[in-house]
Amino acid sequence: MRILVVEDEKRIADFLSRGLESAGYAVDVSHAGSHAIEMVHTTEYDLVILDLGLPDMDGLAVLQKIRNRKVTPPVLILSARDAVDDRVKGLEGGADDYLVKPFAFVELLARVRVLLRRGQPTPERLQVGDLTLDCIRRKVVRSGENIELAPKEFSILEYLMRNRGRPLSRTMIVEHVWDMDYDGLTNIVDVYIRHLRSKIDDKWPQKMIQTVRGIGYMLEAPEKQAERTI
Ligand code: CA
């Protein structure tokens, strides 16, 4: 899940990106409206968090530009303006939600999760073989046993499970789970896959995560793997 934070105030932008990253999201930050519009054009975001007071243009104008595109991510407006009028304008302009500064991070996170879920027709509970992942409660269970995962491990596993039976390259995984800054650091994927394997595969005779030579990784139910080799 990839989120674009559009916020000119560095302190708030840092606070948001750190918080969202530790919750397992990939976060890009833009400090200006024009730059944000460019980024939305070149990168597929699952959500945009948009401040209204930007140095180069009004956030509502940015919202309009984003909304003019055919496929647009949900937008959560963040603003110090708490007048009802502004809130209405934001929502009428196509924003999906509106949060007034100052806000509690937990509230922002709760709203982010709701918006991301809304944009996703995929089920909230993923199941592959005896492995289940609850996207809402962020719980992972294999053969009835609870498995504790770090946020990035959870994100990688969720991505693999949503794409079960389909090989995913290291670059795809990096782009989905980390930020742009991680370009070229695809080795980090191997490290995290090793952690994941130690938690969801090592104890069981049948392995879920497969290495796909020359590409990356794929997750598949052991029964399916057996079918393919026959
Ligand atoms: Ca601002």
pLDDT tens digits for 166-197? 888 887 788 778 765 555 567 889 999 999 99
d(CA 111, CA 117): 10
Across 60-85, average pLDDT: 85
Measure 95 CA to ligand 1 centroid, in angstroms.
17
- Please report, rounded to a whole number, the percentage of residues in the chain having pLDDT higher than 70: 93
Let me know: does 196 contact 209? Beta carbons within 8 Å.
Answer: yes
pLDDT surpasses 60 at 73: yes
pLDDT at 17: 94
Report the separation in Å between the CA atom of 53 and the middle of ligand 1, taken as the mean of its atom positions: 4
Q: What does the mean pLDDT of the chain come to? A: 88
Q: Compute, in angstroms, the gap from residue 10 CA to the centroid of ligand 1.
A: 9
Q: List the single range of 39-48, 114-123, 136-145, 197-206 with lowest mean pLDDT.
A: 114-123
Kindly state the percentage of the chain with pLDDT values over 90: 51
What is the Cα–Cα distance from 74 to 46, expressed in whole angstroms?
7
Q: What integer pLDDT is reported at residue 63 of this predicted model?
A: 94
Ligand 1 midpoint to CA 216 (Å): 41
Tell how far the Cα of 182 is from the centroid of ligand 1, in angstroms: 27
Residue 62 pLDDT = 94
Gap from CA of 78 to ligand 1 centroid (Å): 9
51 C-alpha to center of ligand 1: Å?
6
Tell how far CA 98 is from the center of its chain. Answer: 19
* Positive/negative CA dihedral, 63, 68, 73, 74: positive
Q: Is the pLDDT of residue 79 over 90?
A: no
3-state secondary structure of 219: strand
Q: What is the pLDDT of residues 99-135, one digit of tens each?
A: 888 888 888 998 898 888 775 555 678 999 999 999 8
CA–centroid distance, residue 52 to ligand 1 (Å): 6
Enter the pTM of the model: 0.59
pLDDT at 123: 64
Instruction: Identify the top-confidence range among 9-23, 72-86, 109-123.
Output: 9-23
Q: Which residues surround ligand 1, an ion (CB under 5 A)?
A: 8, 51, 53
Distances 80 to 12, 20, 90, 184 between C-alpha atoms, Å:
12, 20, 13, 38
Q: What is the pLDDT of residue 182?
A: 57
